């Protein structure tokens, strides 16, 4: 039976029926995988934002931050950089949804591993980038 509240224990079924942990070493490896996967999510997001900057050709001006819906059009609607950015967006969205489903196992250790991985990934990969790009790039509060 699936848990509907957070629980602490080493027995977890994560994402797939074959990914079950019954011992402490398998549980520790699962937590390490969740940690690394969530740090990888932040790495992919950083690569996508940097690729988007390259596609536009420069950092956004302050006026672009204040009016995100009135951005300048990028030259070449189907340029290689835009197609690569779209592919990275799709991969990053898939990774994000898998992380969400992993948290929905309601295991406290998995939850902490994912959150710590996101925090460390942000610190390592994204903390030095300016936040103005993120506001223009992603005005949705859910992402």
Give 4-28 pLDDT, tens digit per residue: 888 898 889 888 889 899 999 999 9
104 and 49 in contact (C-beta within 8 Å)? no
Q: How confident is the model at residue 3, as a pLDDT? A: 77
For residue 99, which of 117, 125, 126, 120 has the smallest C-alpha distance? Answer: 117
Least reliable range by pLDDT among 49-53, 69-73, 102-106: 69-73
Q: Please, where are the H alpha helices in the chain?
A: 24-56, 62-66, 80-103, 108-121, 131-137
Q: 75-130 pLDDT, tens per residue?
A: 556 777 778 888 999 999 999 999 999 999 999 999 999 999 999 999 998 877 55
Does position 36 have pLDDT exceeding 90, yes or no?
A: yes
Q: Is 3 helix (H, G, I), strand (E, B) or coil?
A: coil
């Amino acid at each position: 039976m699936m848990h509907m509240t957070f629980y602490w224990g080493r027995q977890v079924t994560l994402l797939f029926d074959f990914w079950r942990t019954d011992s402490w070493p398998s549980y520790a490896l699962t937590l390490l995988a969740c940690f690394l996967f969530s740090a990888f999510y932040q790495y992919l997001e950083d690569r996508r934002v940097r690729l988007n900057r390259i596609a536009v050709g420069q950092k956004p001006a302050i006026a672009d931050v204040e009016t995100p819906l009135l951005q300048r059009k990028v030259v070449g609607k189907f340029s290689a950089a835009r197609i690569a950015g779209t592919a990275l967006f799709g991969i990053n969205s898939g990774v994000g949804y898998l992380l969400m489903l992993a948290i929905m196992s309601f295991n406290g250790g998995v939850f902490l591993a994912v959150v710590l991985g996101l925090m460390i990934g942000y610190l390592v990969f994204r903390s030095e980038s300016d936040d103005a790009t993120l506001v223009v790039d992603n005005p949705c509060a859910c992402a």
